[in-house]
Chains A and B, each alone.
Chain A
Amino acid sequence: MAATGVTKVDRSLAMVTEALGAWDWLVIAPVALPLLGAAALLLIRKRIAWHAPASIAIMLLMLAADVGLLIRVWNEGPVHMAMGSWLPPFGIIFAVDTLGAVFATITAFIGLVCAVYATAEIDTTEYRYGYFTFYLLMLAGVTGAFLTGDVFNLYVWFEVLLISSFGLLALGSNPIQLDGTFKYAILNLVATTLFLITVGLIYGIAGTLNMADLAIKARSGDLGAPVMSFGVLLTFAFLMKAAAFPLNAWLPASYHVTRSASSALFAALLTKVGVYALLRTLVLVFPELGETFAPVLLIVANSTMIAGALGLLASNDIRRMVGWAVISGIGVILVGLGLGEAAALSGAIAYAIHSMVVMAGLYLLAGAMSWLAGTDSLFKMGGLAVHSPALLLCGLGIVLATAGLPPFSGLWPKAILVEAALSKAAYVTVGIILVNGLLTTIALGRMFAFGFWRAAQMERSELAPFPLLSKSRIVPVATIAIVSLAGGLYPEPWLAASRQAAAGLLDAATYINAVLPEG
Chain B
Amino acid sequence: MRTVIFRTVAPFLTALMIIFSIFILLRGHNEPGGGFIGGLIAASANAVYGIACGVSPVRRSLKFHPMTIAAAGLFIATLAGMASIFAQAGFLTGLWTTVNLFGQTIDLSTTLFFDIGVYLVVLGTFSSIGLALEEREME
A residues neighboring B (CB under 8 Å):
16, 19-22, 24-25, 28, 32, 35-36, 38-43, 45, 81-85, 94, 130
Knowing A22-B85, A32-B82, the reply to whether A81 touches B90 (Cβ < 8 A) is yes
Q: Is B53 an interface residue (CB 8 A)?
A: no
Contact status B91-A25, CB under 8 Å: yes
Q: By the criterion CB–CB under 8 Å, are A42 and B70 in contact?
A: yes
Find out whether the CB atom of B90 lies under 8 angstroms from the CB atom of A43.
Answer: no
Contact B71 A32 (CB under 8 A): no
Could you say which of B74, B85, B89 contacts A85, with CB atoms under 8 Å apart?
B89
Chain A min CB distance to B36 (Å): 15
Contact (Cβ within 8 A) A39 B75? yes
Contact between B74 and A83, CB atoms less than 8 A apart: no
Instruction: Establish whether residues A38 and B88, one from each chain, have CB atoms under 8 Å apart when the complex forms.
Output: no
Q: Are A84 and B78 in contact (CB under 8 A)?
A: no
Chain B residues positioned under 8 Å from A21 (CB to CB): 88
Contacts of A81 in B (CB 8 A): 90-91
Q: Which label, helix, strand, loop or mixed, suits the secondary structure of the A interface? A: helix
Can you report 25 residue pairs joining A to B where beta carbons are below 8 Å apart?
A: A16-B90, A19-B89, A24-B90, A25-B85, A28-B90, A28-B91, A32-B78, A32-B81, A38-B74, A39-B71, A39-B74, A40-B71, A41-B71, A42-B67, A42-B70, A43-B71, A43-B72, A43-B75, A45-B71, A81-B90, A84-B90, A84-B94, A85-B84, A85-B89, A130-B67
A35 to B73, CA, bound (A): 12
Residue numbers in A under 8 Å from B91 (CB-CB): 25, 28, 32, 81, 83-84, 94
**Shortest CB–CB separation between residue B88 and chain A, in angstroms?**
4
- Nearest residue, chain A, Cβ from B67: A42
- In the docked arrangement, what's the CA distance between A130 and B84, Å? 30
- Closest chain-B Cβ to A25's Cβ sits at a distance in Å of 6
Residues of B within 8 A of A (CB): 67-68, 70-72, 74-75, 78-79, 81-82, 84-85, 88-94
The 10 residue pairs across chains A and B that have the minimum distance between CB atoms:
A42-B71, A19-B88, A39-B75, A39-B74, A85-B93, A84-B92, A28-B91, A43-B71, A39-B71, A85-B90
Instruction: For A93, give the chain B residue with the smallest CB separation.
Output: B90
The CA of A20 and the CA of B87, in the complex, are separated in Å by 8
The residue on B at minimum CB distance from A94 is: B91
Give A22 to B88 CA distance when docked, in angstroms.
8
A36's contact among B67, B79, B89, B90, by CB below 8 Å, is which? B79
Chain A residue numbers with a CB within 8 Å of B84 are: 85
Complex Cα distance, B87 from A21, in Å, reads 10
Among A20, A45, A83, contact of B67 (Cβ-Cβ < 8 Å): A45
